[in-house]
Amino acid sequence: MTQSAKISDGEIQSIGNEVAQIGRAVRFRDFWFIAALVAAAGLSIFFVLLNREYFEWSPILGVLWFLAAAAVAIAVLVWARSSARSHDWTLRARFEHEIGSLKKQKWLLDNVHYWFLGPLAISVLIGAITRDSAKPMPWAYYGFCVIVLAVTYWLCRREATNKLGPLLTRMQALYRDLTTT
C-alpha cells in the first residue's frame, strides 16, 4: 500500500498506541470477568455443599445453571480474543486483523445482555422461583444482584460506545484511506 499524503506516520503511531492500550484493557477486563465467574462458581458450590443436610434440588438447579452460564461466558470471552494469525505482517494485514478484533470486542460489549447478563439473571431467578418458602432469601440479595447486573451492563455499553466505537471508526477510515490511494 502506498501511503497517502494526508495520513501521517504520527497518526498511524497514535492509533497503534491506542490499539495496544485497548488490548491491555481487554485482557484486564477478561481476567476480572473470568476471576469473578470462577470465584462465584466456587462460592456457589461451597454453599450448596455447606447446606447438604438440607438437600433440595432448587439450589442445585440454580448452581448448575450458573455453572453452565459461567462456562458459556468464559468461552465467549476466549472466542472474542482469539483470531486467525497470519504470517502476513504487512500494514494492510495488521489493520484487517486489528479491525476484526475490535469488531469482535465491540459486539461482545454491545451484546453483553445476551451472553452474560441474561444467563446469570436466569440463575438468580431459578433460585428465587424454586426456593423453599420456609427459608426465603433476603430481598437485599436480589437487589444486590439487580444492581450488579445493571452496573455491569452500563459499564460494558459505555466502553463499547466511548472507547471501542470511535477507535473502530477511526481505524476503518484510515484503512479506507490507505487502501484507496
* DSSP state letter for 148: H
Classify residue 13: in a domain, yes or no. yes
Residue 3 inside a domain? The answer is: no
User: Out of 16-25, 62-71, 80-89, 149-158, which region has the weakest mean confidence (pLDDT)?
Assistant: 80-89
Q: Is residue 35 part of a domain?
A: yes
Calpha distance 159→113 (Å, rounded): 14
Cell readout for 140 is: 437485599
Task: Tell me the whole-structure pTM to 2 decimals.
Answer: 0.74
Q: How many domains does the chain have?
A: 1
Q: Please indicate, yes or no, if residue 4 is contained in any of the structural domains.
A: no
pLDDT tens by residue, 152-166: 999 999 999 998 999
Structural domain contains residue 145: yes
Residue 73 is assigned to a structural domain of this protein:
yes
The domain of 23 spans: 9-180
Question: Does residue 2 sit within a domain?
Answer: no
The residue type of 107 is W
Q: Note whether residue 1 is domain-resident.
A: no
